[in-house]
Structure 1
Amino acid sequence: MQQESTRRTNRDRTEATRTDLIAAARKLFTEKSYAETGTPEIAAAAGVTRGALYHHFADKQALFAAVVEQEAAAVAGEIECASPPSLFARDALIAGSDAYLAAMRAPGRTRLLLLDGPAVLGRAAMDEIDNRHGNRSLREGLVAAMRAQTTVRLPLEALTALLAAAFDRAALAIEAGAETAPYREVLVALIDGLSPTHLQAPGPARTR
């Protein structure tokens, strides 16, 4: 019993240290950029030694990947909360689009996911992360939308990638100071363009 309690305590301590490192790294990466942040200051901000940092993460890039993964999961979670399966396919896609734009307003998130992420991890690694989170939700929403009507059948992977790029471009523009409304209007038009008169059938749907 005591041995199990000790294992649980060690596991909790390990998880707490990892959580502190990710939080400290996120703050520094968004305030200073990945390139300008060193592992000594991350360790100091998290209240641990550099040895502890390297025990949990192979290097700064691995820690950055964990930060990006956490951010992508958070965005996907907000999208899924906004687009439950009870919504019509079109409504779920639009609700998810709105949730994505709102989620990307979190300080530093656009920089982490859309600028530093691809630059540091590479496009292929970022695509893998996106496919586990936001793109997975978008793909599910598009599948539901196309199932809800019979007139449009587009290549799913290409459609997902291009719509995801449109959402990302909108987020970058809004982050730079552009008004949200024109970008939202275009995104809605793109969704309706899949088949404006046939996306109103109910069914499970998700979006980016």
Structure 2
Amino acid sequence: MADGIRAQQREQTRRTLLRESRQLFATKGYGAVGLSEIVRTAGVTKGALYHHFDSKAALFRAVLEQVQREVAEQVAAAADAEADPWTQLTAGCRAFLTASTDPDAQRIMLVDGPAVLGWTEWRALDEAASAHHLTEALTGLIEAGVIARQPVAPLAHLLSGAMNEAALWLAVSGRPGDLDDTWAALARMLESLRAPYGTTAA
């Protein structure tokens, strides 16, 4: 019984650290937040923090994974709500752009993420969170003949990079209608991938 209570307390401490550090990272940026401020805001000791995370970077990584997972869930939900595979792709892409315009997600996922973890590790997390959904969707569309047959990996990376770059631009543009304009441009890019009517996957 006591072990179960201690386990619950440890999990509660971890959740608190993630919640409070996420808010600090989102509002101030990784570089402006110190461990002392994190533990003070979370109401825990540094020892408690180090029990769960061996560094500020490790804590940030956990926060980033949480943000990426939430965005991926929003993308998957938007895609799953559609029956047609092509509409699933476009709905998922639009959901990613919309989710990425949230200031917290932008700062943590797109600005500080690559800078703190390095491009290689950040890309690996991005692949694990949402990029593989894009790869799967493109693979299915190519196999069905909706998109002309071509290597999937470079296409998925190009589209993923375009959407990440668009989200970063939206973070600083600030004009009404920019999200709609960005989506319209992306939709035209996606439409250009469609195979001519009657083309098969052979």
TM-score normalised by L of structure 1? 0.88
The 3 A distance-change label for structure 1 pair 55 and 174 is same
The corresponding residue for 1:159 is 155
Q: Does 1:53 align with 2:31?
A: no
The 3 A distance-change label for structure 1 pair 198 and 22 is farther
Taking the aligned partners of 1:83 and 1:32, their CA distance within structure 2 comes to 33
Deviation at 1:8, TM superposition (A): 2.5
Deviation at 1:89, TM superposition (A): 1.6
Q: Any idea what SS the aligned residue of 1:83 has?
A: helix
Q: Any idea what SS the aligned residue of 1:87 has?
A: coil
Deviation at 1:86, TM superposition (A): 5.3
Taking the aligned partners of 1:132 and 1:172, their CA distance within structure 2 comes to 20
Q: Does 1:123 align with 2:122?
A: no
Deviation at 1:54, TM superposition (A): 0.7
Taking the aligned partners of 1:182 and 1:197, their CA distance within structure 2 comes to 26
- Answer yes or no: is the 8 Å Cα contact 1:89–1:148 preserved in 2: no
Counterparts of 1:5-16 in structure 2 under 5 Å? 5-16=1-12
Gaps of 5+ in 1: 200-208
Counterpart residue identity of residue 181, structure 1: D
Larger deviation, residues 61-70 vs 10-19: 10-19
Deviations 1:150-175 (Å, cap 9, x if unpaired)? 76122211111110011111111222
Larger deviation, residues 146-155 vs 184-193: 146-155
4+ residue segments displaced more than 3 Å? 196-199
Counterpart residue identity of residue 75, structure 1: V
Q: Does 1:70 align with 2:66?
A: yes
The 3 A distance-change label for structure 1 pair 151 and 116 is closer
Asked which structure has the greater RCO (Cα within 8 Å, sep 6+), the reply is: 1
Q: Does 1:109 align with 2:105?
A: yes
- Answer yes or no: is the 8 Å Cα contact 1:90–1:145 preserved in 2: yes
Structure number with the higher helix fraction is 2
- Answer yes or no: is the 8 Å Cα contact 1:24–1:45 preserved in 2: yes
Across the aligned residues of Structure 1 and Structure 2, the Cα RMSD in angstroms comes to: 1.8
The corresponding residue for 1:170 is 166
Deviation at 1:183, TM superposition (A): 1.2
Q: Percent identity?
A: 34
Taking the aligned partners of 1:189 and 1:87, their CA distance within structure 2 comes to 21
The corresponding residue for 1:31 is 27
